[in-house]
Amino acid sequence: CGIFGIWGHDKAAELTYYGLHALQHRGQEGAGVVVSDGDKLKVHKDVGLVNDVFKDADFNRLSGQAAIGHVRYGTQGEGGSDNVQPLLFRSQNGSMALAHNGNIMNAYKLRGELEAEGSIFQTTSDTEVLAHLIRKNGRETNELSISEALQQVVGAYAYVILKEDKMYVALDPRGIRPLSIGRLGSAYVVASETCAFDLIGATFEREVLPGELITISDEGMEFTRFALREQRKMCAMEYVYLSRPDSNLNHVNVHASRKRMGMELAKEAAVEADCVIGVPDSSISSAIGYAEETGLPYEMGIIKNRYVGRTFIQPSQELREQGVKMKLSPVRGIVEGQRIVLIDDSIVRGTTSKRIVRMLKEAGAKEVHVRIASPSIENPCYYGIDMSTREELIAANNSLEEICEIIGADSIAYLSADGLERAIVKDKTIHQGICNACFTGKYPVTEEGRATISYVK
């Protein structure tokens, strides 16, 4: 998911809409905004892409100087409009809206406890659990109630919370999900990715720190911590696949890190070939790096139809297959008779690689050598990326030779976990750690709530 917030601007709702546009790649199932006019909170949200959701939005009604927004990518809870965020809660002593990116691992347990005490939930979203924890026993939404609620949830999370006269911003103690703050004139802005700042003309100020809680109001920003600072464990998949190439995460540009992944991969797994091709869009950066390192020409052997979105409705397997053909096409004149190195950023279930190898071979490619710019994904993610069961992961259930055969490649190789770390991490100080649990099985946070290694500030 993607989250956005702005405080202190006349056009808060419109700017949130623009910000969500820049974050659209982080979630295509739903979008929404909640705005405060200082007196009350107003909401506009629905299932669908940002553009569709806001097509009929009445921005005059959404007047106000503060807003938060969300694009939804469903990993937790069911689809449908109930789970579209921001979630808005109204009560006699003030309203509160929440937008969340990540996953709360102990949500089921907490929800059971809350329900036993009389809470009634509106959604199946893990985000709602935090709202109930904050307001438990009739407490107000403030720094203390939010801190205490955050201390009870375990997992990966970036939150923006809005009430009539304040905004709160929080990041999990490991900083697994990205979250940055910026300025737009005198206004404060927060966003999952810095590309949202660029789009609205805001300047990047700094990252939200792991375990930090920021309060924003007309008095300015105040910083506190709800957890001890631990070594950052930014999700490696943010760099590999999820984030936009023009974003910087933890002071590392995403495109540059992908290019280095391609270079590391070339050092580890070179192969005799005629050209290098990347799967659009997310693998182009690493394909450029691989080509640069090996000296092989980089070619545009696959083009993408930009009008077929990731949300292309896929009601059946047959139409799904058709969907990929509509989205990606081989450039026959380039691939015919060639020995190709095909770079993809990752293999999850194996569907994409399999189809593309077949497509290239049908277009006349002589050999297709698949090179993956990240290690093999053998473990589920519990931190908000959509691969939560071992059964669905091709690399958890097959050997390298079997995968090669299933996808029909002439050879296959993955980047090593060390190579990935070298590509992302500039120096291993407290700021620079990554989570790579889906590759290595070393989970930085477990449901018992105990982080595996602790670096206390």
By rule CB under 6 A, what string of x and - marks binding of each residue 249-288 to ligand 5GP? ------------------------------x--x------
CB neighbour class for 391 (10 Å; exposed up to 12, middle 13-18, buried from 19)? exposed
Q: Which stretch binds ligand SF4 (CB under 6 A): 45-53, 91-99, 322-330, 378-386?
A: 378-386
Of Mg ion, ligand SF4, ligand 5GP, none, which one sits near residue 77, judging by CB under 5 to 8 A according to partner kind? none
Contact positions with ligand SF4 (CB under 6 A) in 118-177:
176
Q: Which stretch binds ligand 5GP (CB under 6 A): 14-22, 48-56, 211-219, 344-352?
A: 344-352
| Choice between 96 and 373, CB closer to ligand SF4 | 373
Strands 220-225 and 234-235, by their bridges, are unpaired
Element (H, E) at 319: helix 317-327
Of ligand SF4, Mg ion, ligand 5GP, none, which one sits near residue 62, judging by CB under 5 to 8 A according to partner kind? none
| Choice between 66 and 368, CB closer to Mg ion | 368
Of ligand 5GP, ligand SF4, Mg ion, none, which one sits near residue 347, judging by CB under 5 to 8 A according to partner kind? ligand 5GP
Q: Which residues are annotated as a binding site for [4Fe-4S] cluster?
A: 235, 381, 435, 438
| Three-state secondary structure call for residue 21 | helix
| Three-state secondary structure call for residue 442 | coil
Whether 345 contacts 241, CB under 8 Å: yes
Q: Which stretch binds Mg ion (CB under 5 A): 30-38, 281-289, 325-333, 422-430?
A: 281-289
Distance CA 149, CA 107 (A): 12
Farthest-apart Cα atoms in the chain, separation: 71
Distance CA 200, CA 268 (A): 40
Query: Least distance to Mg ion from the beta carbon of 403, Å?
Result: 17
Question: Position 195: which residue type?
Answer: C
HEC sequence for 149-177? HHCCCCEEEEEEEEECCEEEEEECCCCCC
Whether 438 contacts 389, CB under 8 Å: no
Query: Least distance to Mg ion from the beta carbon of 335, Å?
Result: 18
Q: 400-407 and 351-362 helices cross at what angle (nearest 10)? A: 50
Q: Which residues are catalytic?
A: 1
Binding of ligand SF4 by 237 (CB under 6 A)? yes
Q: Which residues are annotated as a binding site?
A: 235, 282, 344-345, 381, 435, 438
Binding of ligand 5GP by 350 (CB under 6 A)? yes
Binding of ligand 5GP by 345 (CB under 6 A)? yes
Binding of ligand SF4 by 62 (CB under 6 A)? no
Question: Position 137: which residue type?
Answer: N
| Choice between 152 and 388, CB closer to ligand 5GP | 388
CB neighbour class for 273 (10 Å; exposed up to 12, middle 13-18, buried from 19)? buried
| Three-state secondary structure call for residue 216 | strand
Rounded to an integer, what is the distance from CA 7 to the centroid of its chain? Answer: 23
Query: Least distance to ligand SF4 from the beta carbon of 385, Å?
Result: 4
| Choice between 381 and 425, CB closer to ligand SF4 | 381
Question: Position 353: which residue type?
Answer: S
Distance CA 256, CA 273 (A): 24
By rule CB under 6 A, what string of x and - marks binding of each residue 67-96 to ligand 5GP? ------------------------------
Contact positions with ligand SF4 (CB under 6 A) in 379-438:
381, 383, 385, 435-438
Query: Least distance to ligand SF4 from the beta carbon of 438, Å?
Result: 3
Of ligand SF4, ligand 5GP, Mg ion, none, which one sits near residue 335, judging by CB under 5 to 8 A according to partner kind? none
Q: Which residue has the tokens 């595996």?
A: 452
Peptide linkage before 444 cis (omega within 30 of 0): no
Binding of ligand SF4 by 96 (CB under 6 A)? no
How wide is the angle at C-alpha 86 spanned by C-alphas 81 and 92, nearest 5°?
A: 105
Residue 457 has a CB neighbour count (10 Å cut-off) of 9
Of ligand SF4, ligand 5GP, Mg ion, none, which one sits near residue 350, judging by CB under 5 to 8 A according to partner kind? ligand 5GP
Whether 393 contacts 380, CB under 8 Å: yes
Q: Which stretch binds ligand SF4 (CB under 6 A): 141-149, 230-238, 292-300, 396-404?
A: 230-238
Residues in contact with ligand SF4 by CB under 6 A are: 176, 235-237, 381, 383, 385, 435-438
Residues in contact with ligand 5GP by CB under 6 A are: 241, 279, 282, 344-353, 385-387
